[in-house]
Amino acid sequence: MEYKSYEKVGETVYHAVLDNGLNIYIIQKKGYMKSFACFAANYGGCDLRFKLDDGFTDTPAGIAHFLEHKMFDMPDGNALTRLSENGASANAFTSDSTTAYFFESTDLFEENLKLLLNFVSTPYFTLESVEKEKGIIAQEIRMGEDSPGRAVYVNLLNALLSSHPARISIAGTVESIAGITASTLEECHHVFYNPSNMVLCAAGDFDPQRVMQIAREIVKAPPGGMPVRDYGGPESMLPVRKLIEVNMEVSRPLYMFGAKLQPEKNGQSLYRQILAAELALEAMMGTSSPLYNKLYSKGIINGNFDYGIIDFPEVLLAYVDGEGEEYRAVMDAVFSEAYRIGREGFDKSLFNRIKKASIGGFLRSLNSLENCCISIAEGCFAGYDPMEGLDLINGITSEEAACLVSGILTEDNTALSVVNPQAGAEE
């Protein structure tokens, strides 16, 4: 086991790779009462089409999320219940690129870790439990379809993306999950939950060697082949549609507009690109920016105004969202400000304040065991080291940020999604 010290942030991360390819990362937090562990697979909602050796296999939309739900089932009970009985707070999530299972506890860390590694490594599906889960997830999907906030987001993705599977909900559709069987779940577990495609991250006051020993004893599966994923091919930087509008039960219009970025190929370069784009958007539209204050003082935006970067496999999106009737005025103001920044650059004092705030936020995030572990897992899959974020942020210049934001938010590159009130809806 090797280790790397990050002196500027006061952290040391231990790393080992087992013979079967499982990556293990451990952050030793001396004096911490709580411990956290995350066991994650490089597998998410976008991984619908893949191949190992021969031809490609197509799987139903929502299968990664469905598999996450079913992995807590064990022959002798439910893993979530057993973790709770041990005093652990446990959960899981499926994103577009990652499925992660995790727990936090103050006692019985080793017992809980063994349970985590066991149930994630050992699939247990029955015909009855799979059919029952279809009803539960179908209800979850229908509730999402009734959400205006969900609709404005999904419609923006469909306006921007031509073939990328991010257009499809991570949970799938009622029709797609109907095609999921125990055998398809077992196949996807075999392909994506092999040790070579997974990572274990733990943080707390414990012996790193002991964690590695437990993992070696429990995760005994041989290394598997790395699946080749198909995300539909390169995306044009232009939107597929400029506008998608729908009517739903809202009192005021909800809007979301955005544009695509060409992601860097190298993992660490991609991480720096994301940090730079986030910093640029914050300097351009944050609460201390001239643009925000101008729009807010005119009543064009309110406290629900937001913006950010979405990281999908092989594509990045920048977005702006809010509520109100004057979304066209917001878009025009954003385009105008992006163009001005491209010509004149950012105000240096403002940019430096935003940069210092970003550094402070990064340092505060290291106090969260959950954030540290999940960030390291996602970084391992994407090929970057999130613990180097401080150095990367420090290296981002105002000129680089200005070039980024002026090249992204242009009228030609941007699509708009709007959820309007139903006709006759009361204010």
Residue finishing a domain among 229, 253, 286: 229
pLDDT tens per residue, the chain (427 residues)?
A: 898 999 999 899 999 999 999 999 999 998 999 999 999 999 999 999 999 888 899 999 999 999 999 999 999 889 999 999 999 999 999 999 999 999 999 999 999 999 999 999 999 998 899 999 999 999 999 988 889 999 999 999 999 999 999 999 999 999 999 999 999 999 999 999 999 999 999 999 999 999 999 999 999 999 888 999 999 989 999 999 999 999 999 999 999 999 999 999 999 999 999 999 999 999 999 999 999 999 999 999 999 999 999 999 999 999 999 999 999 999 999 999 999 999 999 999 999 999 999 999 999 999 999 999 999 999 999 999 999 999 999 999 999 999 999 999 999 999 999 999 987 654 4
Same domain, 9 and 139: yes
Same domain, 192 and 271: no
Same domain, 275 and 409: yes
Assess if residue 238 is contained within a domain: no
**Angle at Cα 32 formed by Cα 30 and Cα 36, nearest 5°?**
105
**Angle at Cα 294 formed by Cα 289 and Cα 300, nearest 5°?**
120
Same domain, 397 and 361: yes
Q: What is the domain-level CATH number for residue 83? A: 3.30.830.10
Same domain, 264 and 397: yes
Of 352, 366, 364, which Cα lies nearest the Cα of 401? 352
- For residues 221 and 347, give the distance between their C-alpha atoms in angstroms, rounded to a whole number: 55
Q: How far is CA 293 from the centre of its chain?
A: 30
Count the domains in the chain.
2
SS3 322: strand
Assess if residue 332 is contained within a domain: yes
Same domain, 40 and 189: yes
Same domain, 301 and 217: no
Catalytic residue among 2, 7, 11, 68: 68
Of 355, 106, 306, which Cα lies nearest the Cα of 363? 355
Same domain, 37 and 125: yes
User: Can you give 179-200 as a three-state secondary structure string?
Assistant: CCCHHHHHHHHHHHCCHHHEEE
Of 11, 41, 40, which Cα lies nearest the Cα of 26? 11
Same domain, 17 and 69: yes
For the full predicted model, state whether its pTM sits above 0.75. yes
Residues in the chain: 427
Known catalytic residue at 104: no
Same domain, 225 and 248: no
Domain hosting residue 107, numbered range: 2-229
Same domain, 136 and 247: no
From residue 116, give the alpha-carbon distance in Å to each of 42, 63, 393: 17, 21, 35
In degrees rounded to 5, what are phi and psi of residue 409?
-90, 80
Assess if residue 126 is contained within a domain: yes
